[in-house]
C-alpha cells in the first residue's frame, strides 16, 4: 500500500495558511481534477479524492490540530473497527464538499446534487457525537476493545425515517417538483450559467409530510441507547481523537448519520510515568543497598520484574528494561521501561546510626572520587534521548 502524501503538500499550502487560503487551494484542485472535466482519467479521479481527503482534515480545526501533532497515525486510519481516516468515495465528496462553492456561485451546480449538477438532491448529514474514553496504561500499551453506551438519534422504524404516518403519507414538493433544488439562470462574465440552490419550501427534502408518524411525530428519527464496540489500537495518546463513521446522529427525515468521535483520556498510573512510547519508574534505594548491591522488584505495565543492582550503583543511574514500554501506534516497535535509580538519604538518625556513620566518614572509600565513566546529569539526559 502506497504511503499517504502529506496533506499540506497535497493542497500546496503550509501549516501557517489561513482557513480561506486552504479553502481557495482546495477549490482550485477540485476544479482542476473534477471527474467531469477529466472523463475516464483514473489518475485525475485519485487526485480529486486525495484533495478532498486533505481538505476534510485541514478545514476542521480539531482534526487539523490532531494531524499536526500525530500525522496520519492520529487520524485513526488503521485503527480498525470502523474508524475512518482515508479512502473517501465519490458520494462522500460530493455530499460533504459540494457547498464549498456556495449555492450562489456559478460553480455551485458543478458540485451540488451529484456529478456535474445532474439534478439529484444532496444527501444531508447528521451531527457528530463526541465522547471521552478513559484508558489506563495497560489498555493503552496493548490496545483493547471496549463496549460503550451511546444515546443517539436513529431512523424511526415505524415510518422508515421519512416522518409520515406508516411511512406512506408523503407528497412531492410543488415548488421544486420533488428535486429538492430550484434552478435559475445567472449572467456571468463567462456567459449564462445555470445555478442551483436548496428549495426553500422543503429545505431540500423534495417531499412534504401529510399525516405525521405517531412514533417520531414527523421528525423521522428517535433517540435510542446503543451499545457500540470500539477497538482501540495500541499506542494511542491523551487527547487523541478517533472516529467511527456513521455512528453519530441521523438527520431528521433521512440522510447520512454523522460520526462518533472518541477522545482518549489517559489515566495516571500509580507508579509509572509515560514518556512517548517509553515508561519511567523512579526507584528509591538506601545507600547501603546501592553500595553492597541488591535485588529489587519493580512494577511494569501489567506485572512486575526483578532487577539486580550492582555493588557501587550511583544515584541517577538509568536501567533499561527492553520492550517493557508501549507499542507504537500503527507500528511494530515497542518502547522500553527506564528505571531511574535514586539514593535515599535518611533525614533523621538514631545515636547508634550516627556513631556508625561517623566512623565511616573519613574512610577512603567514602570520599567522593568520580571517574570518567561516572557521567554527569546532562550526559545521562543526552544518552537517554540519543
Signed CA dihedral, 169, 174, 178, 181: sign only: negative
Please indicate if the annotation marks 176 as binding a ligand: yes
Which cell numbers in the block locate residue 197? 440552490
Query: Is there a binding annotation on residue 199?
Result: yes
The annotation status of 27 as a binding-site residue, yes or no, is no
Long-range contacts of 59-64 (CB under 8 A, 24+ apart): 59/19, 59/22, 59/23, 59/26, 62/241, 63/241
Report whether 159 belongs to an annotated binding site: yes
Q: For residues 313 and 340, give the distance between their C-alpha atoms in angstroms, rounded to a whole number.
A: 11
DSSP state of 55: H
Cα dihedral across residues 97, 101, 105, 106: positive or negative: negative
Say if residues 37 and 47 touch (Cβ distance below 8 Å). Answer: no
Q: Which stretch of DSSP H or E encloses residue 282?
A: strand 278-286
DSSP states along 89-156? -HHHHHHHHGGGS-TTSTTHHHHTTSTTS-SPPPPPBPPPEEEEEEE-HHHHHH-EEEEEEEEEEEE-
C-alpha of 208 from chain center: 39
Q: What is the DSSP string of 69-82?
A: HHGGGGGTTT--TT
In order, the DSSP letters of 316-332 are T-EEEETT-S-BPTTSS
Nearest to 222 by CA among 167, 129, 151: 151
216 annotated as ligand-binding: yes
Q: Is 129 annotated as a binding residue?
A: no
| The three cell numbers locating residue 161 | 425515517
For 308, the enclosing helix (H) or strand (E) is strand 303-309
Q: Cβ(131)–Cβ(261) under 8 Å?
A: yes
Bridge partners for 222 per DSSP: 154
* CA 71 remoteness from chain centre: 10
Instruction: Read off the DSSP letter of residue 157.
Output: T
Whole-number Å distance between alpha carbons of 57 and 97:
12
For residue 185, how many other CB atoms are within 10 A of its CB?
A: 8
Binding residues for Zn(2+), by number, are: 156, 159, 173, 176, 199, 202, 213, 216
Residue ranges for the known binding site are 156, 159, 173, 176, 199, 202, 213, 216
Amino acid at each position: 500500500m502506497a504511503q499517504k502524501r502529506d496533506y499540506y503538500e497535497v493542497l500546496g499550502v503550509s501549516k501557517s495558511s489561513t482557513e480561506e487560503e486552504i479553502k481557495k487551494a482546495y477549490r482550485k484542485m477540485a476544479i482542476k481534477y473534477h471527474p467531469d472535466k477529466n472523463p475516464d482519467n483514473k489518475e485525475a479521479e485519485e487526485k480529486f479524492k486525495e484533495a478532498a481527503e486533505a481538505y476534510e482534515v485541514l478545514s476542521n480545526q480539531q482534526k487539523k490540530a490532531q494531524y499536526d501533532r500525530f500525522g496520519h497515525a492520529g487520524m485513526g486510519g488503521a485503527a480498525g473497527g470502523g474508524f475512518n481516516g482515508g479512502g473517501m468515495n465519490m458520494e462522500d465528496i460530493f455530499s460533504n464538499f459540494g457547498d464549498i462553492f456556495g449555492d450562489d456561485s456559478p460553480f455551485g451546480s458543478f458540485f451540488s446534487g451529484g456529478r456535474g449538477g445532474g439534478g439529484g438532491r444532496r444527501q444531508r448529514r447528521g451531527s457528530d457525537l463526541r465522547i471521552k474514553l478513559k484508558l489506563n496504561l495497560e489498555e493503552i500499551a496493548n490496545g483493547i476493545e471496549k463496549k460503550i453506551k451511546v444515546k443517539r438519534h436513529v431512523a424511526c422504524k415505524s415510518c422508515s425515517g421519512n416522518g409520515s404516518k406508516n411511512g406512506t403519507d408523503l407528497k412531492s414538493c410543488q415548488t421544486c417538483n420533488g428535486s429538492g433544488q430550484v434552478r435559475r439562470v445567472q449572467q456571468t462574465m463567462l456567459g449564462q450559467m445555470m445555478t442551483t440552490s436548496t428549495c426553500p419550501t422543503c429545505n431540500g427534502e423534495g417531499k412534504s409530510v401529510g399525516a405525521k408518524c405517531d412514533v417520531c411525530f414527523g421528525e423521522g428519527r428517535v433517540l435510542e441507547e446503543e451499545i457500540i464496540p470500539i477497538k482501540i489500537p495500541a499506542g494511542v495518546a491523551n487527547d487523541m481523537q478517533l472516529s467511527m463513521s456513521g455512528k453519530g446522529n441521523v438527520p431528521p427525515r433521512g440522510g447520512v448519520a454523522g460520526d462518533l468521535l472518541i477522545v482518549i483520556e489517559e489515566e495516571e498510573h500509580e507508579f509509572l510515568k509515560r514518556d512517548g512510547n517509553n515508561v519511567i519508574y523512579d526507584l528509591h534505594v538506601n545507600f547501603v543497598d546501592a553500595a553492597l548491591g541488591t535485588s529489587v522488584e519493580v512494577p511494569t505495565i501489567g506485572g512486575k520484574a526483578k532487577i539486580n543492582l550492582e555493588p557501587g550503583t550511583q544515584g541517577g543511574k538509568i536501567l533499561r528494561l527492553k520492550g517493557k514500554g508501549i507499542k507504537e501506534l500503527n507500528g511494530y516497535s515497542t518502547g522500553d521501561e527506564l528505571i531511574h535509580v535514586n539514593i535515599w538519604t535518611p533525614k533523621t538518625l538514631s545515636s547508634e546510626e550516627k556513631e556508625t556513620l561517623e566512623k565511616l566518614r573519613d574512610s577512603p572509600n567514602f570520599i567522593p572520587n568520580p571517574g570518567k565513566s561516572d557521567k554527569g546529569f546532562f550526559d545521562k539526559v543526552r544518552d537517554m534521548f540519543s
